[in-house]
Structure 1
Amino acid sequence: MNDCQIFPLGHQYRMFGWELKDYRGVAFLPLYKEGRGGEFVVLLNYYYGKLMVLTSVEMKWKRFEKLSETLCSNVVTFRGRFYVSFLSRRTVVVIDPHSLEVTDLMPLTQTGLNFLVPSGDDELFLVEVMVPSGDFDFNRFTCNVSRVDEEAGKWVKVSDLGDRVLVIARLGNVSFSAKELPDGCGVSGNSIVFTNWPQDVALFYKYGPYQGSAEELPDGCGVNGNIKTVWRTSRENSGVILNTFPVVALRVER
């Protein structure tokens, strides 16, 4: 395949003695303490949203007790801290890797389909998927996209990602610049790509006018039902997923 390019989006971790089907994501942070090096903390999203923790001091997996009553959906790192979202809780929490103390951020619009996407140490994005009432057609889903404001402890909605592409996948979410791809490979910046829906189709989302009725969407989209523009599926590109393990491979068509 001479027309393909591979570039790194993150790190791969190999878990011994764990079934891949039960694994939903992992996050690692080194601990820098005076006079002590090589220590670390790992958080694992495992088996129906159980959040597990391992420290280099104990080297033993155990349930993260402070969040044992919630179902984890995403776990990522950003600027030296852990961020965790949930299936059963309308918030994202921040976890200090040294003390493992938990702090809540501003409540989210909804529970369920929320995805955290770090963009290096520059930005941390939150993608909230809005499902039209009574309709589970993926092509009619819309999204809210926000970035974290660390100082204010809240999420700020955004409509322009610049040249970034946010990729939502089964085992983790990543962000990269469309400029890194040769001739774009059919993917343009300021877009979101979902590869984790239960179909062999990749859906592309762009910011633009919503074509449906305002009454179809849940609360949190627009103001007083006056919806003008949202993150919605784009007709510019379509994608067919060719492979999902060990990497996601897809063919983009215009």
Structure 2
Amino acid sequence: MISLFSKVNKSLRSDSSSSMDEIVDWSQLPIELWPKIGKYLDNHIDVLRFRSVCESFRSSIPPSHPNSPSFPLQIPHPVYNSLNNYVNQSTVYIIEPTDASSNSNLEPLAPSSSKGWLIKVEETKNQPVSLLSPISDRKLSYPLSNNNTSPMLWNLLDYRVIELCKSYKIEKTTPFSSSAIKVAFYPNSPWTSVEDCVACCIFQEGKLGLMKHGDEKWTLVDDKNFYYDDIIVFKGQFYVTDKWGTISWIDVSTLRLIQFSPPLCGFGNKKHLMESCGSLYVVDRYYEISDDMGRNYVRRRYDRDTDVECFKVYKLDEEWGKWVDVKNLRDRAFILSKSCNFSVSTKDLIGYQGNCIYFRDTYDARMYNLDDHRITMVNFNPCIDKTLWSRSPWMRC
């Protein structure tokens, strides 16, 4: 939204006979312009900030589509039609300080006031906002006020909030109510009607299923290949990778899989699909496989975390249709959580290191450094209070 306003503001100034240094009063712009600007806001935080500017902004666009999906969203069980599952939505944000935040009455959120941090937020209609670890998806406690009895208030207008991505997970209602390991959901903008939404899921057996709004059961997209590892939304399409590292996209209208890349032929045990700076990557995870895993490994690769030995990263060269071995991510960090994968620049981010992969091992959040190939544990503290705000360890786990 900021870049959009900047472009419009620059255009207004260039067309004006007044000085270029004159501040444009946005509230005086013609009312008919606001709905046109608002339709370019593709995430809820930008819509929220837009509508909070003034009354004319707020009345120009609604908070969302009147029939937008409301989470948790009920969906059918992949096997037992008598059971229901529920999909929850979370959002990963970068929170950056501004002049207003540095002058607020809160203690500094970070050692460097110019750097931001990552946070994951889960919102449902029945529960208050939950803070989650971006890596482990664990729920975190709210920071408390001075008397340690009530949550500290946080005015988002005092910070620059950037939405990175959304993630989805299927919540269990009974011990046997879910067999999903990854779910993707599209489209998901504020202007989306629930009737247009499609969910795509990888089940524990490696099967790939798809469900449109109104369907009473999941439909298998490929009933021959039961070895799918990961799924993401890329350029408005569902993309999947199988255990051989072959990327395909799903034609939702025909339920056909269209192969998009050659097989990677990597020897890792699990493939993670990643979008970074407009390109597709596969992160190949290598497990420390003990002798007792034996024949059951194919099954167990889907239903439990296993100790990680190393990672290898490959980038898809779409022009030449080949895989490129990536040795250095430069300032980028790759985050592999159970519900989503995303990359982020670490230059202006607290607690994250470039050329590293962050992931959850059996019990802990860990970091794999591509420089020295070492794995280190990332500190995790589930309690957030004022003494931790300056260090922000909860942002790094």
The two structures share one fold, judged by TM-score above 0.5: yes
Aligned residue in 2 for 1:106:
262
State the SS of the aligned residue for 2:209: strand
2:287 & 2:167 partners in 1: Cα distance? 32
Please report how far the alpha carbon of residue 21 of structure 1 lies from its aligned counterpart in structure 2 after TM superposition: 6.1
> Does residue 233 of structure 1 match 2:233?
no
* C-alpha separation in 1, matches of 2:394 and 2:242: 27
- Write the distance in 2 (CA, Å) between the matches of 1:151 and 1:114: 22
Give the superposed CA RMSD: 3.7
Tell me how far apart the structure 2 counterparts of residues 81 and 111 of structure 1 sit (CA, whole Å): 26
In the alignment, is the contact (CA less than 8 A) between 1:27 and 1:43 conserved in 2? Answer: yes
Tell me the equivalent position of 2:28: none
**Pairwise mapping of residues 167-182 of structure 1 onto structure 2 (< 5 A)?**
167-181=335-349
Per-residue CA deviation, residues 60-113 of structure 1 (Å, 9 max, x unaligned), is: 4413242454132211111222221234x5533222334332133211223632
* Alpha-carbon distance between aligned partners in 2 of 1:3 and 1:207, rounded to the nearest angstrom: 30
Which residue number corresponds to residue 179 of structure 2? Answer: 22
Corresponding residue for 2:275?
Answer: 118
The change in CA–CA distance for 1:61 and 1:68 in structure 2 (over 3 A counts) is farther
The answer for the alignment partner of 2:388 in structure 1 is none
Greater CA drift, 59-68 or 16-25: 16-25
| Deviation of the 1:127 alpha carbon | 0.7
1:144 aligns with 2:312: yes
Shift of 1:14: 6.7
Q: Could you tell me the percent identity over the aligned residues?
A: 23
Aligned to 2:206: 49
Question: Residue 198 of structure 1: which of 362, 375, 380 is its match?
Answer: 362
Residues paired across the two proteins, number: 211
Decide whether aligned partners of structure 1 residues 200 and 134 sit closer, same or farther in structure 2, where only a CA change above 3 A counts.
Answer: closer
The secondary structure found in structure 1 opposite 2:229 is: strand
User: How much does 1:192 deviate?
Assistant: 1.0
Is 1:162 matched up with 2:330? yes
Larger radius of gyration: 2
Name stretches of at least 5 consecutive residues in structure 2 with no aligned partner.
Answer: 1-106, 111-116, 120-162, 189-193, 294-305, 383-392
Given the two structures, how large is their TM-score scaled by the length of structure 2? 0.45
**CA shift in 2, pair 1:240/1:23, >3 Å:** farther
Deviation at 1:239, TM superposition (A): 0.9
Mapped to 2, the partners of 1:68 and 1:119 lie a distance apart of 30
Shift of residue 25, structure 1, vs aligned partner = 1.9
Give the strand-richer structure, 1 or 2: 1
Using CA pairs under 8 Å that are at least 6 residues apart, name the structure with larger relative contact order, 1 or 2: 2
1:147/1:155 contact within 8 Å kept: yes
Q: 1:28 to 1:251 in 2, by over 3 A?
A: closer
Task: Output the CA distance in 1 between the equivalents of 2:209 and 2:275.
Answer: 21
Instruction: Give how far 1:126 is off.
Output: 0.6
**C-alpha distance in 1, partners of 2:319/2:223?**
24
Q: Give the TM-score normalised by structure 1.
A: 0.66
CA contact (8 A) 1:165 1:189 kept: yes
| 1:153 and 2:321 correspond | yes
